[in-house]
Amino acid sequence: MIPHDVRLTYSLSPGWMTPFVEGLSKGDAVARRCARCAFVSFPPIRTCECGTAEGNWVTLSGTADICFRTHGSAGDFALVAFDGADTKSVVRLEKFPLVQTAGKLLPQEIPLPALVLHPVKGDLPT
Amino acid sequence: MSSDLGVSVCGAALTPYNRRKDGSNFRDWAFDAFEQALTLSTVELRDIDALFVSSESDFFTYQLNPASVLASDLGLRDVEILRCEGGGASGQLAVHAATRALQSGRVKHAAVVGVDPSASHLSAETMTSLYGYSFDAWTDGMTGLSSTALYALSFQTFRESCKVSDKDLAAIVIQNRSNALDNPNAHLGRTHTVDEIDQSPLIASPYRRLHCSPLSDGAAALILSHDTHKPQARRGAAKIAGIGSAVDTLHLGARADPGNFSAKTSAMNSACKEAAILPDTIEIAEIYDAYAGAQLQSIQALGLSESIIGDLNSGRFAPGGQCPINLSGGLLGQGAPVGATGVGQTATCALLVEGTYHPALQPDQPPRYALADTHGGICTTAAVTILKNGEVA
């Protein structure tokens, strides 16, 4: 076998998803609302199931409830329902206690626009 | 009255699926599979007038435009050529493209070659990272999500409605890897216990390492012929009865039921309509078991059972059962060189219905109908192929 190291440095543009990506960096859940049927998708869907590509950007509260979660070698992930969204979202859970079932997006310091849910203090069940 | 597409599988071959350490590379494996399939077909090399190549990613092969490289290696010149890619469904999409080309009448004999060096070229960590970007790179991918984690979330929603126990999940692994013991080309023929599976490292709950298919090196090839040009020596070759593919919403969370592989249902309905049969006509199936739970989700979506767990535990899907599933070992046991997977499944089904599969796995009575099932992403792209015995009217 011949070892061969390749490094790739991309310059990525978010394109039509720019409001979503910029929102994540600020900790905002910027969703897409269909101009025709008002269906709210987060992450945003460009063309709604109703067939309409026209839509508006709306900022949700950024809070979400966990529906299903998985933990393992790559970290903790969950299928969550963001308040105000008609779709569910897959997120990374950051330092999330097993007993906690809700969380919030927070401003990010990393350059990549990752959907990361953080536990909210005081939200633990009593 | 059933029907078929006027296309026969005159040649079918798979190389061993494993982690190669012998200095060979994907071009060697593709060559070997093609040569074996061509020999079985009795078609002359000069009579092949189209090549369809399935390879999932240039990241894996370290070769952009691999179809042209393989065409040159295989000695194919001035033929129609197409490279097909649809994640894990790539191989069957290549089979479908070839089938349609043959049906159109512009092609008499088509070669389909699937190949990927999924095990030996890159580290497991690198492959895991790359697969994280095989869903939506801008949403799922950026979270650092692994393929296993996404499958785990989908399966959790499925198991809630189907009441799948850990023991049921283990039964899938044990059956498929046990089948693989009789497949000399298989990567992971093993005898596992439930405890061994339960104690294997956690990857993404509930999936542990032994619930996951391995990444493999390997190739598979088919020679498909229009029936009017089928060699006399291959008049008993399996026929393609129906094909179907469909795509689901990309994001798991945007699906009405994230545990339901609905694209697979659509693909199966299309294939059954072409074959003029119902799903319960299928007598044997190679199912896309990238993860143990995905096999159960697929069985449900394909309409192969009305009581999945009951049928699993009664032996309906075991060798000798009413509808054996993954006699080859499936991805869990036979292995998964991704671009080769769908081509290899179709080859396996063709040999089974012809009655010439590995002797220890070949049913005494060749099945009349077999199903090859794959998907890419979290069943985002689904592709299925129904094969029938060449003697069936």
What is the 3-state secondary structure of chain B?
CCCCCCEEEEEEEECCCECCCCCCCHHHHHHHHHHHHHHHHCCCHHHCCEEEEECCCHHHHCCCCHHHHHHHHHCCCCCEEEEECECECHHHHHHHHHHHHHHHCCCCEEEEEEEEECCCCCCHHHHHHHHHCCCCCCCCHHHCCCHHHHHHHHHHHHHHHHCCCHHHHHHHHHHHHHHHCCCCCCCCCCCCCHHHHHCCCEEECCEEHHHECCCCEEEEEEEEEEHHHCCHHHCCCEEEEEEEEEECCCCHHHCCCCCCCHHHHHHHHHHHHHHCCCHHHCCEEECCCCEHHHHHHHHHHHCCCCCHHHHHHHCCCCCCCCCCECCCCHHHHCCCCHHHHHHHHHHHHHHHHHCCCCCCCCCCCCCCEEEEEEEECCCCEEEEEEEECCCCC
Per-chain mean pLDDT for chain A: 93
Q: Nearest CB to B253: which of A49, A71, A88?
A: A88
pLDDT > 70? residue B188: yes
pLDDT > 80? residue B203: yes
**Closest residue, chain A, to B125 (C-alpha):** A74
- Preferred mutation among B24, B26, B131, B139 to probe A, highest tally of A CBs within 10 A: B139
Task: Using a CB–CB cutoff of 8 Å, tell me whether B164 touches chain A.
Answer: no
Task: Using a CB–CB cutoff of 8 Å, tell me whether B278 touches chain A.
Answer: no
Backbone angles phi, psi at B150, to 5 degrees: -65, -45
Residues A8, A13, A18: CA angle, nearest 5 degrees: 145
Task: Using a CB–CB cutoff of 8 Å, tell me whether B204 touches chain A.
Answer: yes
Q: Nearest CB to A79: which of B203, B205, B253?
A: B253
Is the pTM higher than 0.80? The answer reads yes
Coil, strand, or helix at residue A121? coil
Q: Considering all CA atoms of chain A, what is the largest pairwise distance in Å, rounded to the nearest integer?
A: 58
**Closest residue, chain A, to B135 (C-alpha):** A90
pLDDT > 80? residue B2: no
Pairwise CA distance, residues B372 & B359, whole Å: 20
Interchain contact, B153 vs A90, CB within 8 Å: yes
**Type of residue at B378:** I
Give the model confidence (pLDDT) of B328-349 as tens digits. Answer: 999 999 999 999 999 999 999 9
Interchain contact, A115 vs B204, CB within 8 Å: no
Distance from CA of A14 to the nearest CA of B (A): 8
Distance from CA of A74 to the nearest CA of B (A): 7
Coil, strand, or helix at residue A24? helix
Q: Are B66 and B58 in contact (CB under 8 A)?
A: yes
Q: Nearest CB to A90: which of B128, B207, B252?
A: B252
What are the angstrom distances between the C-alpha of B150 and each of A126, B154, B281?
31, 6, 32
B23 CB neighbours in chain A (<8 A) are 1
- Preferred mutation among A7, A21, A71, A90 to probe B, highest tally of B CBs within 10 A: A90
Read off the pLDDT band of A126 (50, 70, 90). Answer: very low
Q: What is the pLDDT of residue B1?
A: 59
* Pair of tokens at residue B339: 């671009």
pLDDT > 60? residue B175: yes
Q: Which residue has the tokens 């929603």?
A: B157
Which residues, other chains included, contact B249 with Cβ-Cβ below 8 Å and sequence gap of 6+?
A: A45, A49, B255, B380
Q: Nearest CB to A72: which of B138, B203, B254?
A: B203
Backbone angles phi, psi at B113, to 5 degrees: -125, 125
**Type of residue at B331:** L
Using only C-alpha atoms, chain B has a radius of gyration, in whole angstroms, of 19
B202 CB neighbours in chain A (<8 A) are 71-73
Pairwise CA distance, residues A102 & A81, whole Å: 9
Pairwise CA distance, residues A94 & B142, whole Å: 14
pLDDT > 90? residue B132: no
Q: Nearest CB to A70: which of B143, B204, B251?
A: B204
Mean pLDDT of A68-76: 95
Per the model's pLDDT, the better-predicted residue between B133 and B115 turns out to be: B115
Please give the order of strands across the beta sheet that includes B109-117. B80-84, B50-54, B109-117, B217-226, B7-14, B238-247, B381-388, B369-376, B284-286
Q: What is the pLDDT of residue A122?
A: 59
Q: Which residue has the tokens 């498929």?
A: B176
Q: Nearest CB to A114: which of B142, B146, B253?
A: B142
The strand pair at B207-208 and A55-60 is best described as: unpaired
A79 CB neighbours in chain B (<8 A) are 153, 156-157, 252-253, 258
Distance from CA of A67 to the nearest CA of B (A): 9
Q: Nearest CB to A90: which of B23, B120, B143?
A: B143
Q: Which of B188, B189, B180 is nearest to B216 (CA)?
A: B188
A41 CB neighbours in chain B (<8 A) are 254
Interchain contact, B258 vs A88, CB within 8 Å: yes
Give the model confidence (pLDDT) of B33-83 as tens digits. Answer: 999 999 999 999 999 999 999 999 999 999 999 999 999 999 999 999 999
Q: Which of B146, B147, B149, B164 is nearest to B299 (CA)?
A: B164
Give the model confidence (pLDDT) of B224-256 as tens digits. Answer: 999 999 999 999 999 999 999 999 999 999 999
Helix axes B124-132, B147-162, angle to 10 degrees: 70
Interchain contact, B253 vs A90, CB within 8 Å: yes
